[in-house]
Amino acid sequence: MRRVLYPGSFDPVTLGHMDIIARASRAFEQVVVGVLHNPNKPSGMLPVEERLSLLRLAVRAYDHIEVASFSGLLMDAVRAAGADGVVRGLRGVEDVPDELQMARLNRQLGGVETVFLAASPGIAHISSARVREIARFGGAVDALVPEAARDQIVQALRRYRE
């Protein structure tokens, strides 16, 4: 695999995502970070455009990483991105059942292979859902999100908190 899609909700991007992005960028020639969404059923906290601009800030130091949004199925997004496969991070055993199911379905129905990277232990407890929860109750999320986009993420979470 040379060009891979790293898909997710990225609502918002966290240090957990950055760990996978950094390591995928060393393992593959090109990485497309894809915000997947369903335009008919908007969900999450931040609007997709906001997630994209925060991601672009977060990855600005890399020169072979693209950021884009895709709607619909992951297997179709892989094709739209011109990618050879998918990269996903595994934070722990609790991620495995869902991830295996997705990977197997994407392979069976779309011929798409998934490569898993084991999250680094120091950040494996971080998730976007917890970041949103902490921000919603006024807690500090500075230590959980990428420095290059820290101020903008804190402001965005504050703006869309209600």
Which parts of this chain interact with ligand PNS (CB under 6 A)?
7-9, 36, 73-74, 102, 105-106
Instruction: Choose between 9 and 25: whose C-beta lies nearer to ligand PNS.
Output: 9
Q: How far is the CB of 72 from ligand PNS (least distance, A)?
A: 7
Q: Side-chain half-sphere of 75: how many Cα atoms within 13 Å?
A: 12
Residues designated catalytic = 17, 41, 91, 128
Token couple for 150: 């820290």
Instruction: Choose between 44 and 138: whose C-beta lies nearer to ligand PNS.
Output: 44
| Calpha distance 28→1 (Å, rounded) | 7
- Is the four-CA dihedral 101, 133, 16, 152 of positive or negative sign? positive
Instruction: Choose between 74 and 81: whose C-beta lies nearer to ligand PNS.
Output: 74
**In this chain, which residue has its C-beta nearest to ligand PNS?**
8
Q: According to DSSP H, which parts of the chain are helical?
A: 15-27, 48-58, 74-80, 96-110, 128-136, 150-159
Q: How far is the CB of 36 from ligand PNS (least distance, A)?
A: 4
Cα angle: 31, vertex 160, 48; to 5 degrees? 30
Q: How far is the CB of 162 from ligand PNS (least distance, A)?
A: 22
